[in-house]
Amino acid sequence: MGITGIKGMNDILPGEIETWQHLEEQARRIFSAFGYREIRVPVVEKTELFCRSIGETTDIVEKEMYTFSDKGGTSMTLRPEGTAPVMRAFIEHKLYAQESISKLYYIGPMFRHERPQKGRYRQFHQIGAEVIGVDDPKIDAQVLAMLSHYFAATQIPDVALQINSLGCPECRPAYRENLIEFLEQRLAVLCSDCQRRYTSNPLRVLDCKVPGCKEATLAAPAMLDNLCLGCETHFKQVREHMDTLSVGYTINPRMVRGLDYYTKTTFEMVTGSLGAQNAVAAGGRYDGLISDLGGPELPGIGFAIGLERLALMLGEQSIEPPRPELFIATLGESATNAGFAMLTRLQRQGFLVEMEYTGKSLKAQLRRADKLRARRVLILGEDELARGVAQLRYMDSSIQEEVALNGLENRLLNEILDA
């Protein structure tokens, strides 16, 4: 075996890629209709960007980032998520000066040094969307309507939307203190990770997958019961608008997100069919993030969809390559050259046409035409070329006829377009 790829970083092969293209095309189509425009940002950023936005005490920053210093000594990080880079670009290019509402989407790879397993990789892909500039609950509901619609349109089975509110700088600090007090009394039964982080990031204990921690926090106070009036009203209005738009959801008061910047509405799209990797999309409101990064005081909300998990859910069936409209089989050098020229002319017209380039026997050429599932085969020999004719065989019906080369390409083009 020669050089292999890197563990947890996958090749997406022909046969698999069609599913990915479907997922990406639907996103572009749907997000465009909702008024979003694409933004592309680099896959590396200064490390500081992620530390400041995602938070120093999160799993991502504490243990999952691919960080290195470049030759000039700057600390750089392969992006673990898309929101922070998009906000960095939004601020840097003053996109807020152009419009009072910015709707942006991105598609691309993200990198996290996690333990590779089904649905969890070190390079994975996200499609994400962000709305900046409005904190009206209608926007939260619309973002969730778009996300739900995306899952319906891509025919992803068995997903459910869960929502929660994580409060704001007005109500979260008091809740946090409450939660720390609650956890302090149960410290002995928490896992070592949670014992260490319960004061620095107590909300993460609620998200811990260790059964002992889950059990110990069953009766923990919920942020949802401790919202300030502003957050409570916001959450109520989001739900009302979702009802108006017929977006289904359940409330999950225990949902916390693994990134510090979230405020108010947070949500996850979950599935029962991927085992422990049950979140296929996640997001929320981040009203303080843009100003924390040195930008203007603007609210934002967004989500990211994990593409690998969606591809897994759409099944492993490999998609067959498209059928060539024509396979050109030739005998003799001048016929091969004439066939090669015709091949290129038809390809320039946008049709899938194939031939064999290396002068194999007619039998071998026909075998390849069969393998490619060509719809038609054109057989062109030296004598025929001299007479200005060729044999055209329709593979599905086995009908074969002699055709004049003159006008043949137009006839084929019309036939293909009519089909």
Give the phi and the psi of residue 138 in degrees, each rounded to 5.
-60, -35
Cα 222 to Cα 193, 198, 208, 212, 274: the distances in Å are: 21, 15, 15, 18, 27
Q: Which is nearer to ligand ATP, 60 or 343 (CB)?
A: 60
Both tokens of 152, joined, read 């319906």
Q: Label the pairing between strands 263-271 and 123-132.
A: unpaired
As given in the structure block, the two tokens for residue 80 are 């673990």
Q: Which is nearer to ligand ATP, 82 or 202 (CB)?
A: 82
What's the rounded Cα separation, in Å, for the pair 292 and 28?
30
279, 269 Cβ separation under 8 angstroms: yes
Residue 300 neighbours by CB under 8 Å, 6+ apart = 87, 130, 131, 132, 133, 285, 286, 287, 289, 290
Which CB, 118 or 345, lies closer to ligand ATP?
118
Measured in residues, the chain has a length of 419
Query: 49 is written with which tokens?
Result: 């960007």
In 3D space, the residue among 112, 146, 154, 141 whose CA is nearest the CA of residue 129 turns out to be: 146
Q: Tell me the closest approach of the beta carbon of residue 124 to ligand ATP, in angstroms.
A: 3
Point out the residue whose Cβ comes nearest to ligand ATP.
306
Kindly state the smallest distance separating residue 17's Cβ from ligand ATP, in Å: 17
CB of 120 to ligand ATP, least distance (A): 4
Report in angstroms how near the CB of residue 278 gets to ligand ATP at its nearest.
7
Query: Least distance (Å) from ligand ATP to the CB of residue 30?
Result: 18
- How far is CA 89 from each of CA 39, 76, 283, 284, rounded to the nearest angstrom? 9, 16, 19, 19
Q: Which CB atom, from 81 or from 384, has the smaller least distance to ligand ATP?
A: 81
Residue whose CB is less far from ligand ATP, 45 or 308: 308
Among residues 67 and 277, whose Cβ is nearest to ligand ATP?
277
CB of 227 to ligand ATP, least distance (A): 22
Complex with ligand ATP: residue 242 or 280, whichever CB lies closer:
280
What is the closest distance, in whole angstroms, from the C-beta atom of residue 259 to ligand ATP in the complex?
6
In degrees rounded to 5, what are phi and psi of residue 114? -115, 175
Shortest Cβ 246–ligand ATP spacing (Å): 24
Q: Report the nearest approach of ligand ATP to the CB of residue 163 (Å).
A: 14
Residue in this structure with the two tokens 């969606």, named with its chain if needed: 310
Rounded least distance, CB 48 to ligand ATP, Å: 19
Contacts of 283 (CB under 8 A, 6+ apart): 128, 143, 147, 266, 267, 301, 302, 303, 304
- Are 49 and 67 in contact by the 8 Å Cβ rule? The answer is no
Residue 112 or 239 having the CB closest to ligand ATP: 112
What is the rounded distance in angstroms from the CA atom of residue 355 to the CA atom of residue 339? 8
Binding site for ligand ATP (CB under 6 A): 81, 112, 114, 119-121, 124, 126, 258, 277, 279-282, 304, 306, 308-309
Residue 109 or 230 having the CB closest to ligand ATP: 109
Residue type, 64: E
Cβ distance to ligand ATP smaller for residue 112 or 186: 112
Buried b (16+ CB within 10 A) or exposed e, 363-384: eebbebbeebebbbbbbbbeeb
